[in-house]
Chain A
């Protein structure tokens, strides 16, 4: 008995040790590895959706959780929130009142290389780039053939790849515009080697060649699904890149820009008769939008994005319910210099573009950057629909971010007509386009301008009036040579209430300090 018991115990022990119990490998349980994920054909579309979602949300959970990038609060890391802040806060169009780490530096052009918002934007750009590169590698012909992907799906994937390349070009444009000379990493770059710093010219050329190359694989303007890019969007992006070529590569490309602008205008977009709809919860129905980043109260949630843009612009005496949100965040408002470009502010203004401004409870002179109620209230975006219905969620709006719209194309046309008459744009047509915008704004011809009023400085002001808070201001001011320096100062430029000269190098943001450590090939932008 003794021996039987003991020996069976020992035998069991020996069996245990001798059997599979020396291999510690454990396969992951609730996550899928890259070998298996593409066995489901829907994975390609899901990955493409993530490439778009990279502009819209901050992680895999929605609202917050499982963030895409680290080193910053997840809600702060949303793509177009960061982009908007960097394009608007250092200009005359906006100031934020909050005290979050580093955010005040954006108001006054005194940022340094360790500012976490600037770093986050840089990493957002390269998150998109790396995601697209990986998508391109995973959808190479060799990979698709090896996986036995059907011909029909392969054709579809060809379109996906074009869209992915558009998104990569878009991010490279943002990177070029904000940071200047950055590394150029593509699907063909060696993985895990330190990328070299490209020149601005190389980034510019890459964007141009990519956008040119993908045209054929994209649907014609306004024929694709909402939320996805088409040839109209590609032409618009290319137009924006050419438009600012002088900033990027030191030589102008207005003729090339005009070609693309004309493609956009010929694309079938029309001015939205209801200006307010472009910024409302039903703006996905607007015929004017060329490319928007989708937001949805139930399905596409973020603490950045429109959640930020709408909540942050509400505060003071404003009633949050009027914007179909659950409360204002008392964050961003505009400066009087911009408000004064309009004939009047508030609902009674003849210009529809200034009817959302409010001065109720505001000291319109911005005496204190950190006091929301100094300045002019500017709740341009709303979670109400154009017909006054509430959005589907009081925290996370349904309102999409209108990145590109027809009015911008019209104004670019007019600007090209003035800057380079030889390119082929006529001032007559330019006046027609500009007055089309003004007629929409005034509801009649009372706001129309005469040919003599159509000057470059009018264009800059009109861009401010029309495209206020749409993320163009910094780039526009740089193109006009007014962002830094002494020619144009506005309150809090350089950190004083009156405003003062800033150094020219601040037209580019610094490369993040952490990136300079991680990638020894990089040289910091001049001045930082």
Chain B
């Protein structure tokens, strides 16, 4: 699709029509006999009178055909349904005749539509790997962020939570494809791609603005056929979120409320007060005098049972042609770590209507949210772990503190006096008009504009009497950042759907324009003249520093797609997107992203009819996606101004500096080429359904920050396109209706999602020996535990091989490096050159399971997940698993592993700490009871859910799911949550 194509489309739209029969029409709705859901895409044909006219039903099942006065026969056809017709429909001049249809589904056909990029498609016609999860299947319980809804539901999708309410969540669809650019999928809400998020409120999930209760469906686009239409942003997959709208003629008022309580499941194994005293006596005798006499469990003091409460109310319905939904939600969730609280108020409005004589379908969505977050001051958890357990929290009425500033600060004192809070306002809205071109059946044009405005403020305050300020004598300090991001989207696209000679052709083409701006003001004041204002003001201060950073980026695209279905058995899709991005320099701005896919509905062939397949479809797709999710202006050599603390002294003056940046002006898109073979199957009248997919994803021109030859650039690292990566995998999905409720009141469905993905960094610069260290850990400064090395998975651990004794046990005790580690390069010394690649954090296999059952008014569900072959670096154990930390001015508590390992000096880089973290977790168990027509309500459902019910793992740390990078360093504690609630619909 070129811009000229768009003009041609516009020209078509601008042709004026004869002013005839404007208000004379036949209209109606086509519904599914089973459940009454609207049937989309049914062909309506009107015969009689001057000519045959036709239309397709829209997503709400409605159709409208303008006719001249007369008597007509209306026929409706839809693949997967029986046909129907109505004869003798009389239409008078200026009047509307209504003809509704109710169609019966053919038992052996998969029916329904799913959202795709810039449109919707029959599930049966889809040629790519797409999986929709509807609200009914969502994970229940306390769900703060939308991503949690699909945990364990979709093969190949990893949801990696931070355990912190409202905290950041990472999603990986078929593994990561990038090193320096983002690995997160593109998220599209009601057709509008979200760009805002990163950097807005650190540590918080950008999707927090969305109330999970407003979501109708989340569709995951996995292969290139599905994602290529999003071109430069589809390399990591796409998450399409569709929000709810009115679906029933009568207004439905729904109110739901729930309460939850969370408690910590597991804390790190530390020395007991007595063990600690013994250790200090043995290994740091001079510090014995510093010990106290108390028995304090510091972790218990900062952890708590955390409550949560959520209320949602919504009103939805259809009136005439208008569909509407209004909702209001309020959530408050405390963290199990004292000091953390997330509060959120959301409002959502959707409205759609047919306007201008039913030729224009108008939609508007508006969502607003306010999040108030209180953060636990940094260091509280780490200090509670490291604090000497023999000290009492209070000495008299004041908090115990070490005199040595290197010692951990009393976490209770920090909790009491430090403040850190944030507030985020976000509004996302879009308006869309779809124009059904008169007299050309199946042709429509859609114009859509959207915006996304987010402003945030994060303020922290540390009074002069806080320990950290006393130690540095710097006085009180207040920090505040006020980022603001604004994103606008304009989209214009046309769609043409038509049957030609036994083939159904569906063409889509369009243009999009996105502009994103961000500005990031920040200030801090230190040495405050008074502590009294707290976070609410800035008194005069010794140092006040301001900064402002402003950025803008643009993405402009042209795209086109053709879906061809022949004989309803042979399906072909091709798409092409051309993206222009401001992130690249002249000559590299534009990228072309093609895809082709084909599918064969083998199960519909005559020769298959004797087999038990109710559905069988083979799919193949190939396509290219890009990735440009990294910083702006990387191609432009710029000069960076130095800050006031990075000046240089010339005589009595201090001169602020400038520094040129090292850039690759030729930086361009990352390209991911994906191939997918898949099949969808249904057996025994769809009692068993599922999918099988095999894929490879090869990413080239990786945007990579790599060392460059010294002297050739004004830095030793330059961000450039170098290197390749490969992901290959297999995914299996299976859903079985085990009890269908026909022979007994029991219904039971079980589904499984299995996936395996193998990641390999295939090349960095072409040399086989490149090693780029990554994966920062606690322990020493700047220490890293992972490596990027060709031939190994990304972020493989990079360690010394710990020696084993004759019994196969690790060598332990206070020994030298040469006694503990293998001299892998045989040069007689143990140094950094002896480290080797050993395991990696990505799971080899992921299995997700969902069981849903019902018995009369009862319903039950269970979600479980298992990871196999994932490894975690236990940084809590390595950082605290040595006795030398008992020395120094403030002995700090040790990890219990020190007793068995007996290390006196830290062994950060030992393979001992890379642990198998395979696990099985029952993510949630839920039970509900539904009553109908009680107390004036249509229905009422009460439920109880347990989240994180059970985990089994060999991993010795607190949570085997230790973040996306597999480094367990004082993670936010994992908690078990029990939620009980009630929802009532009127």
Contact = CB atoms under 8 A, between A and B. Distances in A.
Interface of A: 2-3, 5-7, 9-10, 13-14, 16-18, 21-26, 28-34, 37, 43, 45-50, 52-53, 56-57, 59-63, 65-66, 68-73, 75-76, 98-103, 105, 110-116, 122-123, 125-127, 129-131, 133-134, 182-183, 185, 189, 191-195, 225-228, 284, 294, 296, 298-301, 315, 320, 326-330, 361, 370-373, 394-396, 495, 513-515, 517-519
B492 A101 contact: no
Q: Which 10 A-B pairs have the closest CB atoms?
A: A62-B645, A73-B782, A327-B405, A112-B833, A225-B651, A100-B780, A185-B711, A126-B710, A62-B646, A519-B709
Contacts of A37: 639, 658
A112 B710 contact: no
Contacts of A5: 356
B475 to A, nearest CB: 11
Contact of A394 (B16, B433, B474, B712): B474
A113 B513 CA distance: 49
B650 A225 contact: yes
B657 A517 contact: no
A77 to B, nearest CB: 9
B714 to A, nearest CB: 5
26 contacts: A3-B16, A6-B360, A14-B10, A29-B552, A32-B639, A33-B636, A34-B660, A47-B657, A50-B648, A71-B717, A71-B772, A98-B781, A99-B906, A101-B780, A114-B771, A116-B773, A125-B710, A127-B715, A131-B659, A226-B650, A227-B651, A296-B647, A298-B543, A326-B471, A327-B406, A361-B286
A191 B654 CA distance: 32
Contacts of A56: 648
A515 B767 CA distance: 12
A94 to B, nearest CB: 18
Given A60-B659, A101-B782, A371-B887, A70 B715 contact: yes
Contacts of B650: 45, 49, 225-228
Nearest to B770: A517
A225 B652 CA distance: 8
A34 B659 contact: no
Contacts of B3: 17-18, 22
Interface in B895-949: 904-906, 908-909
Nearest to B357: A2
Contact of B435 (A6, A113, A395, A396): A6
A33 B639 contact: yes
B556 A22 contact: yes
A123 B831 contact: no
Contacts of A70: 705, 715-717
Contact of B14 (A7, A16, A23, A284): A7
A3 B17 CA distance: 9
- Most chain B Cβ neighbours within 10 Å, of A26, A111, A114, A195: A26
A17 B639 contact: no
Contact of B641 (A23, A60, A73, A298): A60
Given A10-B10, A193-B712, A372-B887, A301 B646 contact: yes
Contacts of A115: 831-832
Nearest to A76: B782
Interface string B627-669: 0000011001111111111111111101111111100000000
B831 A60 contact: no
Given A7-B14, A37-B658, A300-B647, A328 B406 contact: yes
Given A26-B553, A127-B714, A371-B884, A13 B447 contact: yes
B32 interface: no
A70 B580 CA distance: 30
B582 interface: yes
A375 B16 CA distance: 94
Chain A binding surface SS class = loop
Nearest to B445: A10
B671 to A, nearest CB: 18
A129 B711 CA distance: 6
Given A29-B551, A30-B551, A61-B643, A13 B716 contact: no
Contacts of B7: 14, 17-18
Nearest to B888: A330
Which of A284, A299, A326, A513 has the most C-beta atoms of chain B within 10 angstroms of its own C-beta? A299
B708 interface: yes
Contact of B10 (A13, A65, A123): A13
Nearest to A63: B645
Given A32-B639, A33-B638, A134-B714, 10 more contacts: A34-B638, A70-B716, A71-B772, A101-B783, A112-B833, A126-B710, A127-B716, A326-B472, A330-B888, A370-B904
Contacts of B709: 183, 194-195, 515, 518-519
A365 to B, nearest CB: 16
A193 B909 CA distance: 37
Contacts of A21: 490, 513, 556
A50 B659 contact: yes
Nearest to A527: B827
A344 to B, nearest CB: 25
A25 B831 contact: no
Contact of B643 (A18, A65, A131): A65
Nearest to A225: B651
Contacts of B708: 518
Contacts of B713: 130
A102 B832 contact: yes
B642 A62 contact: yes
Contacts of A327: 404-406, 471, 889
A430 B61 CA distance: 104
B647 A49 contact: yes
Given A22-B556, A30-B548, A126-B716, A62 B644 contact: yes
A38 B650 CA distance: 20
Contacts of B888: 315, 330, 372
Given A9-B447, A21-B513, A98-B780, A53 B648 contact: yes
B356 A6 contact: yes
Contact of A299 (B16, B647, B831): B647
Contacts of B831: 102, 105, 110-112, 115
B413 interface: no
B964 interface: no
A31 B640 contact: yes
A326 B405 contact: yes
Contacts of B642: 46, 49-50, 53, 60-62
Contact of A517 (B356, B661, B707, B716): B707
B327 to A, nearest CB: 29
B121 interface: no
Contact of B712 (A61, A130, A227, A517): A130
Nearest to B557: A24
B589 interface: yes
Chain B CB count within 10 A is highest, among A69, A130, A301, for A130
B829 interface: yes
B366 to A, nearest CB: 20
A483 to B, nearest CB: 17
A97 to B, nearest CB: 8
B473 interface: yes
A103 B909 CA distance: 13
A71 B787 CA distance: 12
Contacts of A71: 707, 716-717, 772-773
A23 to B, nearest CB: 8
Interface string B693-715: 00000000000011111111111
B646 A76 contact: no
B554 interface: yes
Nearest to A18: B7
Nearest to A58: B646
Contact of A69 (B716, B784, B906): B716
Given A299-B644, A371-B887, A100 B639 contact: no
B707 A515 contact: yes
A134 B552 contact: no
Given A63-B645, A191-B712, A69 B717 contact: yes
